[in-house]
Copies of this chain bind each other. A is one copy, B any other.
Amino acid sequence: MKQVYMDNAATTKMKKEVLDEMMPYFTEQYGNPSSIYRVGRESKKAVEEAREKVAKALGAKAKEIYFTSGGTESDNWAVKGVAYANKDKGNHIITTVIEHHAVLHTCKYLEKQGFEVTYLGVDEHGLIDLTELEKAIKDETILISIMYANNEIGTVQPIAEIGKIAKAKGVYFHTDAVQAVGSVEIDLENSDIDMLSLSGHKIYGPKGIGALYIKQGTKIHPFIHGGSQEKNRRAGTENIAYMVGLGKAIEMATADIDGHNKEIMALRDGLIQRINDKIDYVKLNGHPEKRLPGNVNFSFEFIEGEALLLSLDMVGIAGSSGSACTSGSLDPSHVLLAIGLPHEIAHGSLRLSIGDFNSEEELDYVVDNLAEIVQRLRNMSPLYEKVKGEK
């Protein structure tokens, strides 16, 4: 059967070029970078070259890049590390209700440890209100953590403005850019971002590697203590192969963001239009313009997302409903609720996220099947029955 993978916001398939660069570090180049003999020195060199690539892709200095085990660890480190290191200054953190759980659950945990957290709401498109942010800052505020772009609805926040506000108030600013890297131009040197999280597997690199950018001079505790790797700030024997893979992946993802976005957006806009044309009672979630190039998120009234996903899977189409990273939970997505969707509409959401391996022709297959499936499920739905009756 045809397989159409449309869940690139959950994870991506690794690019061949990335895997090829990693392979030597699974075989002959196995030395521990901390050691002084040849095979160790070569590993060290590979790690530092990968770090350079990450730095270059973000307009940062190599010494500001720290490798982690993924976006989640980066988020945990940034938020907890700053919280604990600055608790003599204050105990207040500002974030948003639509963050990824990696930030949200970390904040919930910190609340139990005596920190106070303000969760900013968002408007119907998923944007925060800058005035509200400014008002939320108080003397005790030590950190603002606001995601660059949302993983579910794709909304991109006004990061430059947020940075300016944070800087003016002398508060650290962390942004979870896991979804933004490769889709948005990022130039950290000319930004007011103090910390930025990213992850390899969202940009055609391996799963289980990420990085945290920490601007020089930022007061932050290490999160994982131990050996002196990563300049004494992130302990643990280096995952050389994945670091190399992340370096290659980010290099490729940022080589021509504009050109790349144009292609992806053409597919995205075509998909949105065709769904709008072919299926009624649908609603596009997220911001109409300020959204990630590959993100399509629709609510289909009267039906439930899991049933939709299962039906799509039966014809080989992979999508997601709510956050794929957390779909162990069946609660309607906290992001969709935050933009004001009623529960029943939130439940009927479908995210199709377009990636580098998708083609125009696949989208035809998706739309045809989707229309059919939605109709079939609606025919089973007592809610739809009522609406039909009213018509």
Binding site for B on A (CB under 8 A): 3, 5, 7, 10-14, 19, 22, 26-28, 30-32, 34-40, 69-73, 75-76, 84, 100-103, 105-106, 108-109, 113, 199, 201, 206-209, 221-222, 224-229, 232, 235-242, 306, 309-310, 312-313, 316-320, 323-329
Given known pairs A208-B209, A235-B101, the reply for A14 and B34 (CB within 8 Å) is: no
A29 to chain B, nearest CB (A): 10
- The residue from B27, B39, B76 contacting A224, defined by CB atoms under 8 A apart: B76
Q: Please tell me if the beta carbons of B37 and A11 are within 8 angstroms of each other in the complex.
A: no
Chain B residues with CB below 8 A from A327, complex form: 34-36, 228
Alpha-carbon distance between A227 and B325 when the two chains are bound, in angstroms: 6
Q: Please tell me if the beta carbons of A101 and B325 are within 8 angstroms of each other in the complex.
A: no
Q: Please tell me if the beta carbons of B320 and A35 are within 8 angstroms of each other in the complex.
A: yes
A108 to chain B, nearest CB (A): 8
- The residue from B19, B32, B72, B207 contacting A27, defined by CB atoms under 8 A apart: B19
Closest 9 CB pairs of A and B: A208-B239, A228-B328, A69-B69, A102-B226, A72-B236, A105-B225, A37-B313, A37-B318, A72-B226
Given known pairs A106-B226, A206-B26, the reply for A236 and B38 (CB within 8 Å) is: no
Alpha-carbon distance between A22 and B241 when the two chains are bound, in angstroms: 13
Q: Please tell me if the beta carbons of B30 and A13 are within 8 angstroms of each other in the complex.
A: yes
A142 to chain B, nearest CB (A): 17
Chain B residues with CB below 8 A from A329, complex form: 228
> Other CB < 8 Å A-B pairs besides A12-B30, A69-B239, A101-B228, 7 of them?
A19-B27, A36-B327, A39-B318, A72-B237, A101-B226, A201-B237, A207-B237
Chain B residues with CB below 8 A from A100, complex form: 226-227
